[in-house]
């Protein structure tokens, strides 16, 4: 059993005579004391004793389970009923230290138990309601049965799989299949006996987790989908000029494999790039063996040739780019083939036709259209074009760094992080048109604040910004060299830099910028976030043609009221989801990196409650002005003073209406203002609303 001691008493006592000490502390009403299982020869010992008693349980069941998990080497930390962490840095503070866990659950006795999945050496496939298990099995090439499994409150399942030592599995949402999430690196799941408003987590299988499959790792860690042309040879393989280019690259520029430093992955990446040179799989082995292998440390031996051949096979099978895409002849061949219609089967009976950037699908094929997926929920679509607009001095670059680093790390766990709903992590490319020399300090400050000072390896900085008047091939090739599997997000800072030499007000030039964004999405995968300036004489309007807004999937306006380091973000457009109903606020905080020489930078954070602008003022029928903050405070005060009771919405409204600070009838309070507060996830009062019951109850 994973959780196998229903009641345990943990005592810290003098080591003189544990039995005498226990007898003096016996509050069981005559219950027989259990047998002492172990002692330590020291001044103080900890006794962990198991027994059942009638009446009150000695130890909190959640606390006991947390200690049990930690003893198995599973790092855990406390979470609220809404799954948000109690501790500041969330999963980064997960621990197996029993003293720390004791302190946490003494402070928050009803806290749920969150597991640092990767820290426990595992990945979790999270099957949400509505998933199709057969589709998942098909996508991952088979799903082995695992003996460690749990049910979730909403009727889903958690399938636990073990992973290799120091192996990184990127978390994701609906990447393997619709309604199927992955939790591992920098992510967590709740464990039995945790509860939410929807119900409880329960173990349905408590054996040894099955080891993950290679295909799971590949799909989870691929930063972009396979290119639609990845297996279509539009140039002849092994052309003499291309072979010469490949040999030169293998001899001089290709990164070598070093034993103990990811040699297998480097062999895979080398093979994948050989395909991009237009080299056939059969010739690739000979060229790699003759020109690349002697440079490796140490070279692969004759007895390892078969293993190397397997890596080359995988490189060709899973390479995400079209064959020959880095060769001079590919572009011409691609242009010739671009307008040739291609038909492919979708599902059992559907069909899709593509010609260039156009595609058509029949009614049966429409069933295969995937639902929208997100990098950041309701903000950045997984393959979206996002335009962020603000005047100079609104900290757009700092905001973009925060968004990019959150996606690079999957940082949806930190209460100080502005973006709690990071759905998918992956490599990030930041194309900077200005301020390159300042980026190191900005990134270090973010890592220090949000990542415990650890370096974020999924971040790539590139300059300058690509320009619409130049060939994009060099930019794409350089980006893929830095991350062969592509990117989850590319940032263009700024649109103005990309438009130098062009007319922002001209529709054809703005459309050329859109075409460049589409080319980046096509070649690198993922979403593109573009930073743009407002007009000098009108801070509410962006510069240039209306095409910029019209072609974007998402439009975000950034404003900085006054000179405070607080900015508001409002959503002007969202193609695949409702627009935000109200602004979101970000606080820029100064972080000192060193005193001599003095180095400091700003970091985007979630503002504290008293740092946000006051909520809407309500004019009551008694001539008084009442803010939502006052209504929330009155409701919290009442619920806090009646912690063990539950209230209907009407009952709470009647209680709040009696507060002398409130001059609003209970009916209006309940129907309008309490409803608004409970639907705002940023309010403390929202945590006290239990939707499944339709009741209010105090919750920290």
pLDDT of residue 598: 86
- Strand bridging mode 112-116 / 195-196: unpaired
| Residue 240: closest CA among 322, 313, 329 | 329
pLDDT of residue 18: 38
| Residue 234: closest CA among 323, 125, 156 | 323
| Residue 484: closest CA among 254, 319, 326, 331 | 319
- H helices within 277-327, ranges in order? 281-287, 305-318
State the Cα torsion 213-216-221-224 to the nearest 10°. 140
Q: What is the three-class DSSP state of 181? A: strand
| Residue 609: closest CA among 337, 415, 412 | 415
pLDDT of residue 553: 93
pLDDT of residue 16: 37
CA 75 to chain CA mean position, Å: 19
What's the sign of the alpha-carbon dihedral 174, 488, 86, 587? negative
The span from the CA of 229 to the CA of 337, in Å, is 11
What's the sign of the alpha-carbon dihedral 498, 501, 505, 508? negative
- H helices within 25-127, ranges in order? 61-71, 98-107
Report whether 291 contacts 270 (CB < 8 A). no
Report whether 97 contacts 135 (CB < 8 A). no
CA 381 to chain CA mean position, Å: 13
DSSP state of 669: I
The span from the CA of 471 to the CA of 551, in Å, is 21
The span from the CA of 321 to the CA of 484, in Å, is 9
pLDDT of residue 317: 72
- pTM listed for this prediction: 0.57
Name the β-bridge partners of 10: 48
The span from the CA of 699 to the CA of 286, in Å, is 66
Half-sphere exposure of 166 (CA within 13 A, CB side): 3
Residue with tokens 């060299």: 481
What's the sign of the alpha-carbon dihedral 692, 696, 697, 698? positive
CB atoms within 10 A of CB 642: 15
Is 32 buried (19+), middle (13-18) or exposed (0-12) by CB count in 10 A?
Answer: exposed
Residues of the chain with pLDDT under 50: 1-58, 224-227, 413-414
pLDDT of residue 622: 58
User: What φ, ψ does residue 473 adopt, rounded to 5°?
Assistant: -60, -45
Q: Token digits for 625?
A: 């002005």
Q: Token digits for 429?
A: 């490319």
């Amino acid at each position: 059993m994973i959780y196998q001691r229903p009641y345990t008493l943990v005592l810290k006592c003098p080591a003189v005579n544990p039995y005498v000490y226990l007898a003096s502390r016996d509050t069981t009403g005559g219950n027989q004391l259990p047998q002492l299982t172990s002692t330590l020869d020291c001044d103080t010992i900890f006794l962990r004793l198991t027994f059942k008693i009638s009446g009150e349980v000695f130890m909190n069941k959640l606390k006991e389970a947390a200690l049990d998990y930690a003893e198995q080497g599973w790092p855990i930390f406390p979470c609220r009923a809404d799954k948000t962490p109690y501790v500041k840095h969330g999963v980064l503070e997960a621990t197996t230290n029993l003293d720390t866990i004791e302190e946490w659950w003494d402070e928050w006795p009803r806290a749920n138990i969150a597991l640092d999945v990767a820290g426990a050496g595992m990945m979790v496939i999270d099957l949400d309601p509505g998933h199709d298990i057969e589709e998942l099995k098909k996508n991952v090439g088979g799903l082995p049965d695992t003996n460690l499994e749990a049910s979730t409150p909403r009727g889903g399942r958690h399938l636990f799989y073990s992973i290799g030592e120091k192996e990184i599995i990127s978390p994701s949402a609906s990447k393997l299949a619709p309604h199927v999430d992955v939790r591992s690196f920098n992510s967590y799941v709740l464990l039995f006996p945790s509860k939410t408003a929807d119900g409880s987590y329960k173990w349905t299988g408590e054996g040894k987790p099955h080891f993950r499959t290679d295909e799971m790792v590949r799909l989870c860690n691929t930063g972009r989908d396979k290119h639609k042309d990845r297996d279509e040879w539009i140039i002849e393989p092994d052309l003499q000029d291309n072979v010469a280019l490949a040999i030169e690259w293998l001899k001089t520029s290709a990164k070598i494999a070093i034993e103990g430093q990811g040699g297998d992955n480097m062999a895979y990446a080398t093979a994948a790039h050989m395909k991009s040179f237009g080299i056939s799989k059969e010739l690739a082995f000979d060229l790699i063996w003759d020109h690349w292998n002697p440079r490796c440390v140490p070279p692969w031996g004759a007895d390892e040739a078969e293993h190397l051949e397997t890596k080359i096979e995988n490189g060709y099978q899973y390479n995400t780019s079209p064959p020959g895409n880095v060769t001079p002849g590919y572009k011409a061949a691609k242009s010739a083939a671009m307008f040739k219609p291609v038909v492919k089967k979708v599902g059992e009976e559907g069909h899709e036709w593509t010609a260039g950037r156009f595609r058509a699908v029949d009614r049966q094929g429409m069933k295969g259209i995937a639902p929208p997926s997100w990098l950041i929920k309701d903000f950045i679509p997984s393959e979206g074009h996002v335009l962020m607009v603000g005047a100079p001095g609104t900290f757009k670059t700092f905001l973009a760094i925060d968004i990019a680093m959150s996606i690079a790390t999957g940082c949806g766990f930190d209460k100080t992080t502005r973006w709690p709903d990071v759905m998918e992590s992956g490599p990030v490319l930041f194309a900077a048109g200005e301020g390159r020399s300042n980026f190191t300090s900005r990134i270090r400050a973010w890592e220090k604040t949000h990542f415990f000072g650890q370096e974020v390896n999924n971040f790539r900085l590139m300059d300058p910004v690509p320009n619409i008047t130049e060939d994009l091939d060099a930019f794409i090739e350089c980006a893929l060299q830095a991350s062969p599997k592509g990117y989850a997000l590319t940032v263009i800072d700024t649109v103005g830099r990309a438009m130098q030499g062009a007319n922002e007000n001209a529709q054809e030039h703005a459309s050329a910028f859109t075409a460049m964004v589409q080319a980046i999405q096509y070649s690198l995968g993922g979403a593109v976030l573009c930073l743009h300036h407002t007009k000098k004489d009108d801070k509410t309007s962006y510069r240039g043609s209306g095409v910029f807004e019209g072609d974007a999937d998402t439009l975000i306006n950034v404003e900085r009221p006054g000179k405070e380091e607080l900015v508001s973000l409002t959503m002007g457009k969202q193609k695949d989801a409702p627009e935000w109903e109200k602004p979101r606020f970000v606080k820029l905080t100064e972080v000192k990196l060193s005193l001599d020489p003095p180095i400091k930078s700003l970091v985007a954070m979630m503002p504290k409650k008293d740092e946000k602008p006051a909520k809407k003022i309500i004019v009551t029928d008694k001539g008084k002005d009442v803010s939502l903050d006052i209504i929330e405070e009155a409701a919290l005060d009442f619920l806090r003073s009646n912690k063990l009771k539950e209230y209907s919405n009407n009952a709470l409204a009647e209680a709040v209406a009696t507060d002398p600070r409130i001059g609003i009838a209970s009916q209006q309070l309940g129907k309008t203002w309490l409803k608004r507060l409970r639907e705002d996830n940023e309010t403390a009062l929202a945590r006290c609303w239990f939707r499944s019951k339709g009741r209010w109850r105090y919750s920290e």
